[in-house]
């Protein structure tokens, strides 16, 4: 056996306070935000702390006119998209259209102060608008009592803000990770289906329609009210929808054409799809006003009063009869909008090699929804379409949201009545066109090819939302995701290691069939924490490995080496299982060795006296060192047996 300069460090275990503080830091502050300026002077610390929590103080001092030029263009562009979307999504939530315009004025200003993303454009979203209508509509009818319904929407938005702010301050961004990419893909696809079908009410000019959102009920309502179908509305809707889709998908063709004709670099034609919704609204307003569209069966938005957001503090309703519904709507829509906004912000930040802080984003969303609920706004976040347009129009900082807010203020003060002639069929076409782009067929197919379980999670959300409700879809998908996580914990990864020829590398024998087995030594690697939920399985799996090894080799297993470098933690049930394993192996005349345990695991083993039971000599830093020790022990044992046999023969 060769001597080693280094041995396993059996230092005195750290005290509980120290380990608990470290674990909390890693859980709630994995980015170590204050570590960068812990050695600065007090005033510098205060300044940088304020800049950390209020990002505008960090980027505003460096702001200049050159950046402002880009942000002005981006702000004007996203305003042209915010006006039709705001009206459309407000109608989707069955709210007065002016509320949609209000919601694109105050919240963007709040996000500019507290948001950490340079790319995000703030506004309302279709999925949360429909979910809020579905949840609150089950308690109060928006048709029978629109005033109470509107007040409950404000209250729900207030609870959304409280929920998001609390998560941000408590550094609970980890909760966002429970909504996996598969869940979001399926949820958005299912939501797009039901929202698109619901727009058939506007496309066909129906007056009576179902309040349910599942596919079956919506289709039944469409055909049940076929006597209300208006061909004029259908033709107008089809024309608008075709125009919007052409504007979206013809862009690559236009790019190639302009490159060929002008023989220049690829032009940026983001504005083709960006201004198309506004063009639809403008054409629709002209048609409804000049052609008297209402007389031909084409309904319009109706009265839009000029003026800025009135206060809605006194409209918040905390009546115990409605409180459960408003809290439920606030929490569910808050979680979905938060996940969507953070995911979109991170996606565009990666493209620009930037970083955003998920916890600061939650605080920003929370503040803009709290203040929004007090100023006649409903739930807002960072929608994908507006953010994509914002990035493509060249935004540099969150100042683009200030420009959007200023432009929306001018619209509310002077131009709002013009949009009162907007045909409902135009809004339906805008929503439907936007939703068709959210059904990500390629991603679903990719999930099917790569991971069938992820595909099942995606389909659970998709069909749950489509044929049940948005709540059912989310619960099914998140339930399957948690089940998968539990299966990973209860049935952790373990593998047998072998040595690659002519190297000192030890790899999984299943992945690398050319690896060589070690005579009398079985090396196993555990790859997950050892808990009460999986310790029995680990014990049985180790014993099965021994039986399998003895069945395919001529020699008997004498040593088991457990590589614990991938085991992050262990509990008392796991330690008791290892003690029980020692007894079982002792009966089989097999010795156990532990390789490279992490500090958290070794501390638990020391405090539980497991180190004393097994012996410090059975702990090794590396597999190679452990194997050399085992071979030395086997060689010594063989020599002793040979010597004992020789002495017996001499006596005889």
More confident residue, 168 or 40: 168
Per-state percent for the chain, helix, strand, coil, to nearest 5: 65, 5, 30
In angstroms, rounded to a whole number, what is the distance separating the alpha carbons of residues 244 and 312?
36
In angstroms, rounded to a whole number, what is the distance separating the alpha carbons of residues 476 and 503?
48
300 Cβ contact list (under 8 Å, min separation 6): 288, 293, 294, 420, 421, 422, 423, 424
Architecture of domain 493-641: 2-Layer Sandwich (3.30)
DSSP structure class, residue 107: H
More confident residue, 253 or 632: 632
Neighbour order of strands in the sheet with 619-620: 506-508, 494-499, 521-526, 559-563, 591-595, 619-620
Average pLDDT on 144-161 reads 94
In the chain, what are the domain boundaries?
Answer: 64-486, 493-641
% of the chain beyond a pLDDT of 70 = 88
Q: Which helix (H) or strand (E) holds 463?
A: helix 452-467
More confident residue, 170 or 539: 539
Say how many CA atoms lie within 13 Å of 639 toward its Cβ.
Answer: 6
pTM of the full predicted structure? Answer: 0.73
66 Cβ contact list (under 8 Å, min separation 6): none
**pLDDT band at residue 34 under the 50/70/90 scheme:** low
Residue 323 has pLDDT above 90, yes or no: yes
Residue 314 has pLDDT above 90, yes or no: yes
Residue 64 dihedral angles phi and psi, to the nearest 5°: -145, 175
DSSP structure class, residue 564: -
| Cβ burial, residue 583 (10 Å; 0-12/13-18/19+) | exposed
Structure confidence by residue, pLDDT tens digits, 552-564: 887 888 999 999 9
The answer to whether 135 touches 325, Cβ cutoff 8 Å, is yes
% of the chain beyond a pLDDT of 90 = 29
In angstroms, rounded to a whole number, what is the distance separating the alpha carbons of residues 44 and 50?
10
The answer to whether 13 touches 597, Cβ cutoff 8 Å, is no
Q: Is 249 helix (H, G, I), strand (E, B) or coil?
A: helix
The answer to whether 456 touches 481, Cβ cutoff 8 Å, is no
181 Cβ contact list (under 8 Å, min separation 6): none
Structure confidence by residue, pLDDT tens digits, 408-417: 999 999 888 8
Indicate the pairing of strand 494-499 with strand 506-508.
antiparallel
Residue 458 has pLDDT above 70, yes or no: yes
Sign of the four-CA dihedral 263, 266, 276, 434: positive
Structure confidence by residue, pLDDT tens digits, 416-449: 888 888 888 888 888 788 777 778 888 899 999 9
The listed range with the strongest mean pLDDT (36-40, 253-257, 570-574) is 570-574
Residue 25 β-bridge partners: none
Structure confidence by residue, pLDDT tens digits, 525-553: 998 889 888 899 999 999 999 998 888 88
Average pLDDT on 189-204 reads 84
In angstroms, rounded to a whole number, what is the distance separating the alpha carbons of residues 244 and 238?
10
Average pLDDT on 306-322 reads 91
Average pLDDT on 354-376 reads 90
Question: Would you list the DSSP string of 630-647?
Answer: HHHHHHHHHHHHHHHHHH
Average pLDDT on 568-590 reads 91
In angstroms, rounded to a whole number, what is the distance separating the alpha carbons of residues 54 and 48?
10
DSSP structure class, residue 264: S
Q: Is 574 helix (H, G, I), strand (E, B) or coil?
A: helix
Residue 250 has pLDDT above 70, yes or no: no
Average pLDDT on 5-30 reads 72
Residue 472's CB: how many other CB atoms inside 10 A? Answer: 16
In angstroms, rounded to a whole number, what is the distance separating the alpha carbons of residues 104 and 228?
34
**pLDDT band at residue 255 under the 50/70/90 scheme:** very low
Kindly report which listed range (6-15, 228-237, 402-411) carries the lowest average pLDDT score.
Answer: 6-15
Exposure b/e, 421-444, CB count within 10 A at least 16 = b = bbbbbbbbbbbbbbbbebbbeebb
In angstroms, rounded to a whole number, what is the distance separating the alpha carbons of residues 249 and 242?
10
According to the model, what pLDDT value does residue 365 have? 94
Average pLDDT on 600-606 reads 91
- Structure tokens belonging to residue 301: 């938005």
521 Cβ contact list (under 8 Å, min separation 6): 557, 558, 559, 561, 627, 630, 631
**pLDDT band at residue 649 under the 50/70/90 scheme:** low
Average pLDDT on 460-488 reads 85
More confident residue, 278 or 627: 627
Nearest Cα residue to 568 out of 496, 493, 651, 481:
493
According to the model, what pLDDT value does residue 182 have? 86
According to the model, what pLDDT value does residue 1 have? 44
């Amino acid at each position: 056996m060769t001597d080693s300069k280094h041995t396993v460090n059996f230092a005195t275990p750290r005290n509980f306070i120290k380990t608990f503080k470290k674990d909390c830091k890693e859980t709630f502050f994995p980015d170590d935000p204050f570590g960068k300026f812990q050695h600065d002077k007090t005033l510098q610390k205060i300044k940088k702390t304020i800049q950390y929590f209020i990002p505008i103080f960090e980027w505003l001092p460096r702001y200049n006119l050159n950046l402002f030029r880009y942000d002005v263009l981006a702000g004007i562009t996203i305003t042209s998209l915010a006006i039709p979307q705001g009206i459309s999504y407000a109608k989707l939530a069955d709210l007065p259209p002016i509320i949609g315009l209000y919601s694109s004025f105050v919240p963007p200003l709040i996000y500019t102060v507290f948001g950490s993303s340079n790319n995000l454009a703030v506004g309302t979203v279709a999925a949360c608008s429909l979910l809020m209508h579905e949840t609150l509509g089950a308690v109060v009818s928006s048709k029978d009592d629109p005033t109470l319904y509107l007040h409950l929407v404000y209250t729900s938005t207030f609870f959304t803000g409280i929920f998001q702010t609390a998560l941000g301050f408590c550094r609970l961004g980890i909760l966002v990770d429970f909504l996996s990419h598969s869940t979001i893909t399926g949820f958005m696809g299912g939501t797009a289906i039901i929202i698109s079908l619901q727009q058939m009410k506007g496309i066909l000019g129906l007056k009576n329609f179902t309040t349910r959102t599942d596919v079956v009920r919506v289709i039944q309502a469409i055909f049940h009210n076929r006597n209300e179908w208006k061909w004029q509305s259908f033709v107008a809707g089809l024309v608008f929808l075709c125009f919007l889709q052409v504007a979206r998908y013809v862009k690559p063709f236009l790019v190639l054409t302009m490159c060929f004709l002008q023989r220049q670099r690829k032009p940026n034609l983001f504005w083709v799809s960006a201004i198309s919704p506004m063009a639809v609204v403008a054409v629709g307003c002209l048609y409804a006003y000049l052609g008297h569209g209402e007389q031909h069966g084409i309904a319009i938005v109706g009265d839009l009063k000029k003026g800025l957001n009135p206060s809605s503090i006194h409209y918040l309703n905390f009546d115990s009869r409605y409180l459960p519904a408003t809290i439920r709507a606030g929490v569910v829509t808050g979680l979905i909008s938060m996940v969507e906004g953070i995911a979109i912000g991170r996606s565009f930040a990666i493209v620009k090699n930037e970083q955003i802080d998920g916890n600061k984003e939650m605080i920003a969303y929370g503040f803009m929804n709290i203040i929004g609920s007090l100023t006649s706004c409903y739930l807002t976040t960072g929608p994908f379409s507006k953010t994509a347009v914002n990035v493509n129009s060249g935004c540099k900082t969150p100042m683009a949201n200030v420009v959007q807010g200023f432009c929306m203020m001018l619209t509310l003060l002077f131009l709002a009545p013009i949009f009162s002639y907007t045909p409902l069929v135009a809004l339906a076409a805008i929503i439907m066109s936007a939703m068709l782009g959210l059904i990500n067929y390629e991603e679903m197919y990719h999930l099917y090819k790569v991971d069938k379980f992820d595909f099942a999670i995606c389909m659970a959300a998709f069909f749950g939302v489509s044929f049940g409700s948005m709540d059912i879809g989310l619960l099914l998908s998140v339930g399957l995701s948690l089940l998968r996580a539990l299966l990973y914990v209860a049935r952790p990864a373990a593998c047998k290691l072998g040595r690659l020829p002519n190297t000192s590398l030890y790899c999984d024998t299943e992945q690398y069939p050319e690896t060589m087995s070690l005579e009398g030594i079985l090396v196993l690697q555990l790859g997950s924490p050892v808990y009460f939920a999986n310790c029995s399985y680990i014990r049985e799996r180790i014993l099965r490995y021994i039986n399998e090894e003895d069945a395919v080799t001529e020699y008997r297993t004498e040593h088991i080496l457990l590589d614990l470098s991938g085991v992050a933690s262990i509990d008392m049930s796991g330690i008791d299982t290892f003690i029980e394993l020692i007894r079982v192996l002792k009966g089989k005349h097999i010795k156990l060795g532990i390789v490279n345990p992490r500090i958290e695991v070794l501390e638990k083993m020391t405090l539980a006296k497991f180190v004393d039971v097994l012996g410090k000599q059975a702990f090794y830093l590396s597999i190679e060192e452990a194997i050399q020790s085992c071979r030395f022990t086997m060689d010594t044992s063989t020599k002793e047996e040979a010597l004992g046999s020789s002495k017996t023969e001499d006596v005889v």
